[in-house]
A and B are shown apart, each in its own frame.
Chain A
């Protein structure tokens, strides 16, 4: 029986968001069925944590315990940045598969798969932050502030990741294979995460590098996270980090959308 319903001529932003959430649910189901897809956001943070704290901690900060306290908030930022690489990879892998043709032949918003992929990434962000925190707490890390500020820190980190992942979506729409996404983005992610005060205080660096480190959004966000988790000022740094994030999204969201449209038609 064909039921004659009114034609769908336009998809409202509300429906687009609903489709996006449904597709984010798909991403979550896939993670649940295939937990090893989370290895990159679980194993890597642990390795970084152990490596830096026990190998370099004594040299950089004098004691591994003290170093763990200042390192962890920064490592959270670094891992969010790395986790955001996954969005472009996942989306690249997805659009080359037949299932994308099905989505495209259905009356759903063109942008829904994009929104779904990005929302689904919140799961990866939460997982990477949880793993880092749990291992760090076992190693002796303690949040010195209150739950309110802790939650603000988490929210800021995830917001930063959600803005940053448009860069990876953009690259993911330009390259041929998923593996090319991290390869291409290394040139972007490394200066961003290592050229910051996450691992070493900026005043230990040569002047030209200090200039970059001091304006780097990762430095600002790491400072804000330290303030929020350990106590101290955080508002100004959070503001700078937020502005940076908005700026990155303002540039890369339209670029990503255009590249996506061009790629999937």
Chain B
């Protein structure tokens, strides 16, 4: 089987910091790989190595069969990159940025202009097309950046936290764009801190922490593998939340996830019998719940179990420890 992106044993050191500590990745053509990990895990470093911007100290990586170190030009010819930090020219307008890229990629001036207009329209930037990017809002910049990475119709697209800082509408737009590209056969590697994003888009997920892959598989596999199941409680009265959290903590020994917006507490459990204990304890305490049940754990639970940390934010809802 040939992979669109394949890496083995990638090591990258910055002085004493080991940013990548033997990372393996494999993405089949036309699939979306979600790379998850907390701040400083090495996600951006991995993307930069795969995009030929950084040279790994050890290991190798191939994109569509081309080695990123020795066949960098061929790799650059088929990839598109939206880095974590905007990589459009602030002094130029949206149109000028995209036309410049088109021309560098060998398009005629007319073709470059047509492609720029098409992409700006797609990302709802037509009204701002002739303004300096300097005047764009954070979300507009992000979209301009995405548009820039698509000018060359890449076969392999890297998106480093593409929706960080976007409002829900723009985020949905980006998700729709990614799905559209995947339908066209594009392979996508996407890093994110948003578990929901990975859940929505990714066919495969790799969780990185401290430069090491700590889990890899389909979202389903990961949810199955970690903690078995997730026990969820939806209090009838929000004021009962702390009391319920205490009961769950006593029974499981770990701090449950409290999602205030959704009015939901959840905790990974490996013993399904715990459910009856929870019901009994709530009964004794005189607390009623609208919903108590066992589910496949969410990726939030997976992440919590794997790294011992919650993710800083989730897009639609704010998850925080009680």
Residues of A within 8 A of B (CB): 1-3, 5, 7-11, 19, 22-23, 25-26, 29-30, 33-34, 97-108, 112, 265
Q: B104–A22 contact, CB under 8 A?
A: yes
Q: In the complex, what's the smallest C-beta–C-beta distance from A226 to chain B, in angstroms?
A: 39
- The answer to whether residues A10 and B73 also contact, given A101-B83, A103-B104 and a CB cut-off of 8 A, is yes
Which residues between 69 and 86 of chain B lie within 8 Å of chain A, taking CB atoms?
Answer: 71, 73-74, 76-79, 81, 83, 85-86
Determine whether the beta carbon of A7 is less than 8 Å from that of B78.
Answer: yes
A30 touches B184 (CB 8 A): no
A112 to B104, CA, bound (A): 10
Determine the chain B residues whose CB is within 8 A of the CB of A25 once the complex forms: 100
The 9 closest A-B pairs by CB, nearest first: A98-B87, A8-B77, A102-B87, A7-B74, A107-B77, A107-B76, A105-B81, A99-B89, A2-B155
Contact call B153/A2, Cβ cutoff below 8 A: yes
Min C-beta distance of B308 to chain A, whole Å: 33
What 1/0 flags go to B217-242 for Cβ under 8 Å of A? 00000000000000000000000000
Which residues of chain B (31-71) have a CB below 8 Å from chain A? 51-55, 66, 71
- A7 CA to B66 CA, complexed, in Å: 9
CA distance A71 to B151 in the complex (A): 52
Q: CB-CB contacts of B150-166 with A at 8 A, as 1s and 0s?
A: 00111100000000000
Task: Kindly list chain A residues whose C-beta atoms are within 8 Å of the C-beta of B153.
Answer: 1-3
Give me 10 A-to-B residue pairs in the complex whose CB atoms sit less than 8 angstroms apart, sorted by A's number. A2-B155, A7-B74, A22-B100, A29-B92, A99-B87, A99-B89, A102-B88, A102-B101, A102-B149, A107-B105
Q: In the complex the two chains form, what is the Cα distance from A99 to B52 in whole Å?
A: 15
* A102 and B186 in contact, given A9-B71, A265-B53 (Cβ under 8 angstroms): no
Nearest-neighbour CB distance to chain A for B17, whole angstroms, equals 17
Query: Is B85 in contact with A107, judged by CB distance below 8 angstroms?
Result: no
Tell whether B96 is near chain A: CB-to-CB under 8 Å: yes
Q: Which of B52, B76, B89, B155 contacts A26 (CB 8 A)?
A: B89
Interface class of chain B by DSSP:
loop
Q: Which residues of A contact B89 (CB under 8 A)?
A: 26, 97, 99
Interface membership of B148, Cβ < 8 A: yes
Query: Among the listed B71, B74, B76, B186, which residue makes an inter-chain contact with A105, where contact means beta carbons less than 8 Å apart?
Result: B76
Rounded to whole Å, the gap between the CB of A16 and the closest CB of chain B is 11
For chain B residues 88-102, which have a beta carbon within 8 Å of chain A?
88-92, 96, 100-101
B148 near A102 (CB under 8 angstroms)? yes
Residues of B within 8 A of A (CB): 51-55, 66, 71, 73-74, 76-79, 81, 83, 85-92, 96, 100-101, 103-105, 132, 148-149, 152-155, 184-186
A108 contact set on B, CB distance < 8 A: 76, 104
Tell me the minimal C-beta distance from B66 to chain A in angstroms. Answer: 7
In Å, the complex CA distance between A102 and B81 comes to 7
Q: Name the B residues within 8 Å of A106 (CB-CB).
A: 76, 101, 104-105, 152
A22's nearest neighbour on chain B, judged by CB, is B103
A29 to B103: give the CA distance in the assembly, Å.
Answer: 14
Please determine whether A265 and B101 come into contact, CB atoms closer than 8 angstroms.
no
Question: Inside 8 A of B86's CB, which chain A residues have their CB?
Answer: 98
Chain A residues contacting B148 (CB-CB under 8 Å) are 102
Residue from B90, B91, B92 with most neighbouring chain A CB atoms (10 Å): B91
Give min CB distance, B186 to chain A, whole Å: 6
The complex places the Cα of A128 from the Cα of B319 at a distance, in Å, of: 59
Q: How far is the CB of B31 from chain A (nearest CB, A)?
A: 14
Q: Is the CB of B92 within 8 A of A1?
A: no
**Cβ 8 A contact of B73, one of A11, A34, A112:** A11
Q: Which residues of A contact B87 (CB under 8 A)?
A: 98-102
Whether A101 lies near B66 (C-beta < 8 A) is no
Give CA–CA (A1, B154) in the complex, Å.
Answer: 9
Closest Cβ–Cβ distance, residue B4 to chain A (whole Å) = 10
B9 to chain A, nearest CB (A): 20
Cα distance, A7 to B81, chains bound together (Å): 18
| Complex Cα–Cα for A112 and B76 (A) | 15
B240: min CB distance to chain A, Å = 48
CB distance from B63 to the nearest CB of A (A): 11
Query: A104 touching B74 by the CB < 8 A rule?
Result: no
With most chain B CB atoms within 10 A of its CB, the pick from A19, A30, A98, A103 is: A98
Give the shortest distance, in Å, between B101 (CB) and chain A (any CB): 7
* Closest chain B CB from A19 CB (angstroms): 6
With beta carbons under 8 angstroms apart, the residue of B53, B74, B154, B184 that contacts A101 is B53
Q: Contacting A34 at CB < 8 Å: which of B51, B66, B91?
A: B91
For the complex formed, measure the closest distance between the CB of B197 and the CB atoms of chain A, giving whole angstroms.
22
B184 to chain A, nearest CB (A): 5
Asked if A107 and B51 sit within 8 Å, CB to CB, the answer is no
Q: Which residue from chain B places its CB closest to the CB of A102 in the assembled complex? A: B87
Question: Are B74 and A8 within 8 A (Cβ)?
Answer: yes
Q: Which residues of B contact A10 (CB under 8 A)?
A: 73
Instruction: Flag if A29 contacts B96 (CB, 8 Å).
Output: yes
A101 to B71 CA separation, bound complex (whole angstroms): 18
Taking CB atoms, residues of chain B closer than 8 Å to A105 are: 51-53, 76, 79, 81
Q: Say yes or no: A26-B105 contact (C-beta < 8 A), given A98-B85, A107-B77.
A: no
A9 to chain B, nearest CB (A): 5
Bound CA span A9–B96, Å: 27
